[in-house]
Structure 1
């Protein structure tokens, strides 16, 4: 008979198996396509097929999370990983029946969020998300500075252009929305030409605003995220070197110093 230790070893091997991981990714993608299929009007036969596929996916996710939990050597460590907690919550709530229950709407929404399990399965996506989260403190200052620029330009726009088009510049909140439209280049030239009919030099207002927001701040955000991403890659490389017991540059320098000391002693 297979004891629990052998069973745990098999589960550990299975959950780290590349073929199994690819199949999990395939099921997650299928789950996403299934959610999209439900937004269309389906025939009774197609609806029945979709329902059974949804049940299969839910059952597979339950089995998969159980394998990952049982394959963990220290069970408490399983819940120290936030992604494991997220996956467990998604799978647990997915067990709620969709039809004829008060929780039906919640269950349907959770099935949409099952697509996010792709992040917990693919390490590269986890790295990107972790980098974005770690960059948030630095991005916060950029966003604050951007809001200040938005507010100043919105106040100026509301003061100068309110009489030209109250629907776009009636107050500061509407002006903020108009400036967001300008920043995203959504027919912004129509807004500019309208004000240029009264203030011919108003193009300076729009071009300077676009330069600050769409160009300068956007590049600052990209630079911060890329910098944090590089730092995360470097941490991973160092950890992999430690795990593989590969000497780092610091270790090689230390070894060279030791060899130098030994040669000096022999020379004496």
Structure 2
């Protein structure tokens, strides 16, 4: 049985305010020694995830920009992906729409809904809104498939979501921002596709997914073992069509506690 761990980052593996992951460090090392892939499944960009993989000491497939793509290291875990392009050692399976298409749409409704996206923010503004340093804020701006944005009237997001749907786009809610991305590209679809690639190569697969925000719901619904972490900055929400385990704490402490219990470590 091949266990795959799909993990959100902000507020889940990383502390929501400080981005610290130290309470999870020893477990990450254990996963490495047991050859259990930690698949970062996040709203962050490819550039950000590569930075974090180096910091975490891992090299594994990852799913950036809320499920808009899957990146797999060339030759990783006996997975062969000849039909997908490889660049700088990574295969890319694109599921979302191009960034230019998404930002062009948002520009047409920005005034109507009071939208401010990353494209219109300078590095200092992104750093201020996210708590990131300037280097990471720059990496967050290197987007391929989705646009994070703020709304002056967030109560109107349901109306915006319906309008965006007519253009083949989806609006999802993350820990800090709303995100606009291609319809059908979500964390759950990406989880299922990557899992199918493992099965195609003869693996029997067990999936564990961890998240703390509404944009994590698609992967929590389709994982064999969904784990929902508390988010102190938002009201609790329901995970419809799934019965998740509830981590005892937010952030990396809850992440490590819940995974140890599930993996019997």
TM-score interval, normalised by the smaller of the two chains:
under 0.3
Where is the helix percentage greater, Structure 1 or Structure 2?
1
Bigger relative contact order, structure 1 or 2 (CA pairs below 8 A, ≥6 apart): 2
TM-score, normalising length from structure 1? 0.27
TM-score, normalising length from structure 2? 0.28
Larger radius of gyration: 1
